[in-house]
A and B are shown apart, each in its own frame.
Chain A
Amino acid sequence: MAEFSKQLERLEAIVRRLESEDLDLDEALKLFEEGVERLRAAREQLTQAELKVKKVLEIESPS
C-alpha cells in the first residue's frame, strides 16, 4: 500500500501537469487515468483503514 502522502503528492503533480497547456491528448488521457486510479486508491485507504496498534516490546522481540 503506497504511502498516503506520496499518493496525494503524485495526484497534485498530475493535476498541475494536466492544467498546464502543452499536452497532447494521448499524454493528457494517460495522466487522467493515473489520477483517477490514485484517487480511488486514496479513497479506499481512507474509508477502509483500521487502526493497527503495536506495543514496542512486540516489535523488539526476536520472533
Chain B
Amino acid sequence: MGARLDLFSAASAEGAWTVGEVTKRARAVIEAGLPPLWVRGEIAGFKAWRSGHWYFSLRDKSAQMRCVMFAKQNFMLPAPTDGMQVFVFARPSMYEEKGEFQLTVMELLSTEQGGLWKLAFEKAKAALTKDGLLDPARKRRLPPFPRRIAVVTSPDGAALRDIQAVIARRWPIAELIVVPAQVQGAKAEASVCSALNRIARLSVDVVVVARGGGSVEDLWAFNSERVARAVAAMPMPVISAIGHETDVTLCDLVADLRAPTPSAAAEAATPDRVEVLAQCGIVGQRLARALRTASRHVIERLDRTGDRLVRCMDSRFETSRALLTAHSARLDALSPLRVLARGYAVARDADGQVLKRVAQLPSGKEFRLRVTDGEVHGRVQ
C-alpha cells in the first residue's frame, strides 16, 4: 500500500489540482482568450426547458458544441428548429459543474430570408391554412346594427381611445365592452387568448381586436398560432386592426375583416347614425305612400262593387220588362175585345150578367149587347 503511495508521491495533496480548480481555470482561460463572438452553424438537439432556457448544439461537418440561451435572452423569440442554419452571438465559456465547453448565446439569427420571425410566421400560417382557417369562405358578414361591441386591447392605449371616439360618434346605440389585455410582452399571447375566451361567453355581436404599431417583436403575440386559433374559434365576427397597415399578422388573416387602423376597425363595426336617420326618412315616405296606395285600392274596389251592383240591377230590370211585354201580348190575344173585333157580341142583362142561354132570354127581356165599338140596348121579340 505504502509503495503505491510512493509511486504517486508527486500527486500529493499539495501538488494535485482539484476538478473544481481545473474547470475554474479552464473557464478563466477560455473567457480571457475567446471574447464574445459570432458563430455560424446548424442547430441540433434543440430543447426548450420549462424555465424558458433553451439548450441545443451548434455543429458543422467536423465539430459541435453545446449552447445555452437563457430565458431573458430568448424572451419573445420564436423557437428555432433542428437543422436550421443560424448565426449566434455568444460568449464561449466552461460549464463547470459538467466540465463542458459551452456557448452562452446572447443573440440568435436565422440565416434564412426574413429570419426566425418569418420562419415561425410561415410555419404557423401553413398550419392554419392546412386546417382551412384562412379560407376566404369562412369570413362572416358583420352585423348591420350591432347591439354590443367588444374590444380587446390595451386599457390605456391610443387604440382604445380612438375606437371609443368613433363608436360614440357613429353608433352610440351600441354598448361598448372593453376587455383589457396585455398586447405586448411575454404574457400577451395568454392575455389576448383569455380575453377572447371571456368574450366568446358573452352575448356580443362583433369583436374588435386592436393594437397600435410596433416592432415585429411587439406584434408577436398577434402572430402566434394560439391567438390566431382563438380568433378563428370566436362565435361572432372579429375585426382585426394590428400594427400599421403594412404589418399583416396571422390575427389579421384569420379575422373576418382586417382594418388598417383601430379607428377604421370601429368604423367597419358600426353604421353611421346620420345615414341610418336618412334611411328612416325614406322608410317614412314609403310608409305614407303605401297607405295612400292602400286607400286608393280600397276606393277602387268600392267603385268596382258599385258598378257591378248597378249593372246587376239593370239586367234584372231588362228581364222584367221583356217578361212584361210577353205577358201583355198573351193577355192581349186572350182579350174578349179581340173576340168582339172578330164579329162576336156579348149580351148582358141590366145587372151585367152574361146571357148565354135561350132560357135567359124570354120574350120582352131587355138586354145590352156589347159589340166591338160599343153597346146597344135591345128587347127580345
Contact = CB atoms under 8 A, between A and B. Distances in A.
B287 A15 contact: yes
A32 B294 CA distance: 10
Nearest to A33: B291
B145 A8 contact: yes
Decide if the interface of chain B is mainly helix, strand, loop or mixed: helix
Nearest to B300: A21
Contacts of A42: 280
A55 B150 CA distance: 9
A25 B298 CA distance: 6
Interface in B248-288: 273, 276-277, 280, 283-284, 286-287
B176 A52 contact: yes
B265 to A, nearest CB: 16
A15 B283 contact: yes
B175 interface: yes
A40 B277 CA distance: 11
Contacts of B168: 50-51
B360 interface: no
Decide if the interface of chain A is mainly helix, strand, loop or mixed: helix
Contacts of A3: 147
User: Residue among B145, B173, B175, B286 with the most chain A CB within 10 A?
Assistant: B173
Interface string B283-325: 1101100110111011000000000000000000000000000
B213 interface: no
B284 A56 contact: no
Interface residues of A, number: 36
Contact of B277 (A36, A43, A51, A60): A43
B143 A5 contact: yes
Contacts, number: 103
A43 B176 contact: no
A46 B298 contact: no
Contacts of B295: 25, 28
B378 to A, nearest CB: 79
Contact of B144 (A5, A11, A23): A5
Interface string A18-45: 1101011100110010011001001101
Contacts of B173: 4, 45-46, 49
B174 interface: yes
B177 interface: yes
A7 B230 CA distance: 33
Contact of A51 (B147, B167, B294): B167
A11 B30 CA distance: 83
Contacts of A24: 298
A43 B280 contact: yes
Interface string B176-211: 111110000000000000010011001000000000
B172 interface: yes
B169 to A, nearest CB: 9
B372 interface: no
A53 B175 CA distance: 6
User: Residue among B145, B175, B287 with the most chain A CB within 10 A?
Assistant: B287
A19 B290 contact: yes
20 contacts: A4-B145, A11-B283, A15-B287, A18-B294, A19-B286, A23-B297, A25-B295, A25-B298, A32-B291, A35-B283, A39-B280, A43-B280, A45-B173, A46-B280, A51-B168, A55-B155, A56-B195, A56-B202, A59-B202, A60-B198
Given A19-B290, A51-B176, 11 more contacts: A4-B173, A14-B287, A15-B286, A28-B294, A39-B280, A42-B280, A51-B164, A51-B172, A52-B176, A56-B195, A56-B202
Interface of A: 3-5, 8, 11-12, 14-15, 18-19, 21, 23-25, 28-29, 32, 35-36, 39, 42-43, 45-47, 49-57, 59-60
Interface of B: 143-145, 147, 150, 155, 164, 167-168, 172-180, 195, 198-199, 202, 273, 276-277, 280, 283-284, 286-287, 290-291, 293-295, 297-298
